[in-house]
Amino acid sequence: MAVTASQTLPQITINTLREMKTRGEKFACLTAYDASLAQVVDTAGVEVILVGDSLGMVVQGHNSTLPVTMDDMVYHSACVSRGCHQSLLMTDMPFMSYTTVEQALHNAARLMQEGGAHMVKLEGGAVQVEVVRQLVARGIPVCAHLGLQPQSVHKLGGYRVQGRETHVAQKMQEDAYALQAAGADMLLLECVPATLAEEITKTMDIPVIGIGAGPACDAQVLVLYDMLDITHGKRPKFSRNFMQGNASLQGAIEAYVRAVKSGSFPAAEHTFN
């Protein structure tokens, strides 16, 4: 079997990302849900590929992430892993798949053993500290997710910016530190004011990925379909059409990587105050 160029490059690991944060070098993250697009993303220089439960909306056609099952996530993660040779592969744990430590351990093991994931991502603040601690103790890298948590969309009252109120912002900071202390290897902030995201990023030792969280985060993530302008309906405020001015998918993704690394994306129009 022929070896592709990406297969000859070093594998991105959590240590790679920590070193990039230390150097002040930004890194890029994108979602993928199948082997073919994963290979395009991988060869375009994206450091982290996220198999997001956003597949429930952009692939399956649901109006939220809630219907996505563990079997769905294992299947799509395994597909992506076959096209991913350099990027770190992170996979979402879907709704209600980590309500207890035992359940979380079982399902995270499936994502790594069957789905080929290098890291799992889960939503929630201090309530998830013990789950994170036990996953990490057993060698499972974890990315925590704060701010807008799509799995809690009904509790939050919709897809709304989180952290504008002083008490909510303070709680988010406390949760971030608690999750880091529990062993979380990365943190993702979604739809939070740029100033809050900047403060959290500067005070955390672990890399912080932002989506709708301003330019100060250590990395940015977008849903692949959003930045390729093939999402049905209104594109989120925090996204940008990178197909504009580019003739190919590869060119659009490479433009995204350059924009993230240079700090030109996200711009003011993609952020929340």
Instruction: List residues with catalytic annotation.
Output: 190
Distances (CA, A) of 39 to 3, 4, 46, 101, 272: 13, 10, 10, 33, 32
User: CA-to-CA distance for 101 and 266, rounded, in angstroms?
Assistant: 36
| The CA-based dihedral angle spanning residues 150, 130, 50, 192, taken in that order and rounded to the nearest 10 degrees | 50
CA angle 22, 25, 29 (to 5 degrees): 110
User: CA-to-CA distance for 154 and 91, rounded, in angstroms?
Assistant: 23
Distances (CA, A) of 10 to 16, 60, 88, 118: 10, 33, 11, 15
Helix (H) or strand (E) holding 131: helix 129-137
